[in-house]
């Protein structure tokens, strides 16, 4: 596996080679990331990954400075998963000058849910993903479904800009107790880690209520958030949305439209997100 840190090295590594399947990451890898690498490998051809903690998608009071970084460990894991090339630039390399050109996703998708609680987040995501796609010129890019709204925002960007890349979605990997794997799980204390699976349990309960015929989404969502509050969480949202565009379900099509239940909540200092398709 080759590790490169500069755009010049990256271009030299890619010259004359088939376009790769690409897995963008911020490092601090876990089994969920490695599953995405294996999915990329199944697509055939070389596999490339990036490791870059993107300042543009962190708010002023978020955890950019304390986001864990361990390039050596991450590269060992990537090599074991079948990655061929790692692009690990520093900020001065990827943002050699202030990134005043940005990609602004539409507010109706990027201004709701995560976007409502993290203003500018999806602009930062789209801008760095666009830049990385331009740098690596992959034929396939792989994202995980755990970051469901991010996946949809990136898919929309790729579609509207007619980028010559296919977006693949990897299923959410979970621990045995149901907690969705996330780099931020490492921030949890022992007691918080024991409580953390309740976020997934809450999603399952909302899913059960929908399957049983519940259609008052405001009531279902409100009770789910209150359940989390009583357990010591600080929920941002629990939301039932259409999978196709993350908008509210239409009353006359409730039994026909594929739905997804999404949630974000803080447990102690750690903010966790999860979702469950219906």
Q: What is the pLDDT of residues 58-85, one digit of tens each?
A: 988 787 887 888 999 999 999 999 999 9
* pLDDT of amino acid 62: 82
* pLDDT of amino acid 254: 61
Q: Among residues of the chain, what percentage have pLDDT more than 70?
A: 98
Q: How many residues does the chain have?
A: 278
* pLDDT of amino acid 65: 83
* pLDDT of amino acid 95: 96
Model confidence at 252, pLDDT cuts 50, 70, 90, reads: low
Q: Which residues are catalytic?
A: 33
Looking at per-residue pLDDT, the higher value among 228 and 251 belongs to 228
Query: Going by C-beta distance under 8 Å and a sequence separation of 6 or more, which residues neighbour residue 38?
Result: 81, 82
* Summary mean pLDDT of the chain: 95
Model confidence at 222, pLDDT cuts 50, 70, 90, reads: very high
Q: Among residues of the chain, what percentage have pLDDT more than 90?
A: 90
Mean pLDDT of 217-239: 97
pTM above 0.85, yes or no: yes
Mean pLDDT of 250-262: 80
d(CA 33, CA 183): 9
Please answer whether residues 138 and 168 qualify as being in contact, where contact means their C-beta atoms are separated by less than 8 angstroms.
Answer: no
Residue 13, pLDDT above cutoff 90: yes
85-101 pLDDT, tens digit each: 999 999 999 999 999 99
Mean pLDDT of 17-27: 97
d(CA 258, CA 249): 9
């Amino acid at each position: 596996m080759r590790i490169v840190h500069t755009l010049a090295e990256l271009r030299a590594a890619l010259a004359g080679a088939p376009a790769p399947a690409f897995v963008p990451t911020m490092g601090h890898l876990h089994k969920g990331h490695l599953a995405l690498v294996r999915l990329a490998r199944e697509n055939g051809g070389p596999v490339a990954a990036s490791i870059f903690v993107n300042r543009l998608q962190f708010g002023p009071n978020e955890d950019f400075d304390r986001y864990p970084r361990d390039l050596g460990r991450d590269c060992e894991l990537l090599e074991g998963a079948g990655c061929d090339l790692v692009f690990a630039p520093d900020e001065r390399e990827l943002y050699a000058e202030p990134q005043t050109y940005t990609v602004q996703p539409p507010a109706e998708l990027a201004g709701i849910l995560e976007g409502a609680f993290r203003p500018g987040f999806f602009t930062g995501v789209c801008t760095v993903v666009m830049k990385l796609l331009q740098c690596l010129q992959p034929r396939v890019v792989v994202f995980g479904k755990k970051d469901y709204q991010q996946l949809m925002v990136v898919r929309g960007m790729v579609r509207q800009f007619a980028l010559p890349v296919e977006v693949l979605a990897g299923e959410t990997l979970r621990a045995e107790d149901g907690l969705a794997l996330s780099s931020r799980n490492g921030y949890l204390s022992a007691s918080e880690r024991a409580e953390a699976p309740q976020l997934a349990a809450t999603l399952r309960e909302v899913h059960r209520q929908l399957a049983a015929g519940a259609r008052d989404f405001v009531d279902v969502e409100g009770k789910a958030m209150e359940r989390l509050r009583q357990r010591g969480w600080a929920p941002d949202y629990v939301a039932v949305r259409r999978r196709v565009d993350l908008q509210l379900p239409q009353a006359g099509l409730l039994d026909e439209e594929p739905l997804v239940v999404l949630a974000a909540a803080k447990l102690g200092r750690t903010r966790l997100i999860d979702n469950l398709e219906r």
